[in-house]
């Protein structure tokens, strides 16, 4: 990293007075890759959030089979572009004839929503359990550790495949369709419930080392309450691993959600789904490569950018990073 030249006018005292957060922010801003990736990732979230508006502007929705007439006798769009045209920007979905661009936009919305909710959920549980186990130690730590062991040994995809039909039959009457929100909730809850163990274990080990540090002992000696020690002394030191874990979890969950959609326990075929699109593309790629390309490319860009952004944030938060 280039040497930082401070403006002549800046007083040295100003630099010294910067809070760790501001230092991190400055560091992050200087990491061009990080900033670029931040904007790309943000674009994905904006696309997801404004999907209905995009649909309005584009003039098509995700469920109507606009391009059905253009498919050939065995359900393939015209080669070699997969039916790409000014009318269908990214082509036509083979088999059903829906618009690929709209499928992708709404699919990103579905996948990101589930991944985001599950990431927030599992990080909250992970942080709580991790800190509790690490700080309290003893019996709490032992039992939390065993629960984590069990969860880590659990094949979560298999669990979902087994669980979704059970939840459906428990909560949905035999003559009702499973509402989309129920599937959505089931997926979020199960992904959260089965996914927090890894983060909890990592955070616990961090807390274990922090617990013995002087500043924590000092706080204890000065009579601080456990709540204050946890929230004011330990938690601020955990932000860096928490952010790294979260930025690492989210793309993984996008992938997991994709797999579930394909295994038949996702959101059903009438709800556009990024992951299912990609996996279906694999089936059609021999003759309709664009149908694999667009969701694949979008997923690749998103996961790489999101991970790089996470890296940049970690670097910015790490006091050992060179530079200001």
Q: Which is nearer to another protein, 200 or 292 (CB)?
A: 292
DSSP assignment of 212-254 equals: TSHHHHHHHHTT--HHHIIIIIIHHHHHHHHHHHHHHHHHHHH
Rounded to a whole number of angstroms, the minimum distance from the CB of residue 286 to another protein is 4
Q: Which is nearer to another protein, 100 or 230 (CB)?
A: 100
Rounded to a whole number of angstroms, the minimum distance from the CB of residue 90 to another protein is 15
Q: Which is nearer to another protein, 241 or 275 (CB)?
A: 275
Helices (H) and strands (E) in the chain, counts: 13, 0
Interacting residues with another protein (CB under 8 A):
65, 68, 71-76, 79-80, 95-96, 165, 168, 174-178, 262, 264-265, 268-270, 279-280, 282-289, 292
**Do 97 and 70 touch, CB atoms closer than 8 A?**
yes
**Do 122 and 191 touch, CB atoms closer than 8 A?**
yes
State the Cα–Cα distance between residues 272 and 105, nearest whole angstrom: 9
Rounded to a whole number of angstroms, the minimum distance from the CB of residue 80 to another protein is 4
State the Cα–Cα distance between residues 258 and 163, nearest whole angstrom: 17
Rounded to a whole number of angstroms, the minimum distance from the CB of residue 179 to another protein is 11
Rounded to a whole number of angstroms, the minimum distance from the CB of residue 259 to another protein is 11
Q: Which is nearer to another protein, 79 or 236 (CB)?
A: 79
Q: Which is nearer to another protein, 176 or 212 (CB)?
A: 176
State the Cα–Cα distance between residues 180 and 269, nearest whole angstrom: 11
């Amino acid at each position: 990293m280039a040497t930082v030249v401070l403006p002549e006018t800046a007083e040295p005292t100003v630099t010294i007075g910067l809070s760790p957060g501001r230092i991190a922010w400055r560091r992050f801003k200087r990491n061009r890759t990080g900033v670029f990736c931040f904007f790309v990732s943000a674009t994905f979230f904006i696309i997801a959030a404004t999907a209905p508006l995009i649909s309005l502007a584009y003039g098509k929705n995700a469920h109507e089979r606009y391009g059905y007439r253009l498919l050939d006798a065995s359900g393939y769009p015209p080669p070699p572009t997969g039916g790409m045209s000014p009318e269908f920007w990214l082509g036509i979905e083979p088999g059903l004839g829906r618009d690929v661009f709209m499928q992708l936009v709404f699919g990103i919305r579905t996948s990101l929503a589930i991944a985001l909710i599950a990431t927030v959920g599992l990080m909250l549980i992970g942080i709580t359990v991790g800190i509790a186990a690490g700080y309290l130690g003893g019996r709490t730590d032992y039992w939390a550790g065993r629960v984590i062991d069990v969860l880590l040994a659990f094949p979560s995809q298999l669990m979902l495949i087994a669980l979704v039909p059970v939840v459906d039959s428990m909560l949905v009457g035999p003559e009702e369709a499973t509402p989309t929100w129920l599937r959505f909730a089931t997926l979020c809850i199960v992904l959260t419930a089965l996914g927090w163990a890894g983060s909890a274990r990592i955070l616990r080990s961090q807390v274990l080392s922090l617990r013995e540090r002087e500043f924590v002992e000092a706080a204890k000696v000065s009579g601080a309450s456990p709540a204050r020690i946890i929230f004011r002394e330990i938690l601020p030191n955990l932000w860096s691993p928490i952010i790294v874990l979260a930025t690492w979890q989210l793309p993984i969950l996008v992938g997991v959600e994709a797999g579930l959609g394909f295994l038949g326990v996702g959101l059903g075929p009438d709800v556009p789904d990024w992951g299912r699109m990609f996996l279906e593309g694999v089936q059609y790629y021999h003759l309709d490569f664009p149908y694999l390309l667009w969701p694949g490319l979008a997923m690749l860009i998103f996961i790489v950018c999101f991970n790089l952004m996470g890296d940049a944030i970690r670097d910015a938060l790490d006091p050992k990073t060179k530079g200001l």
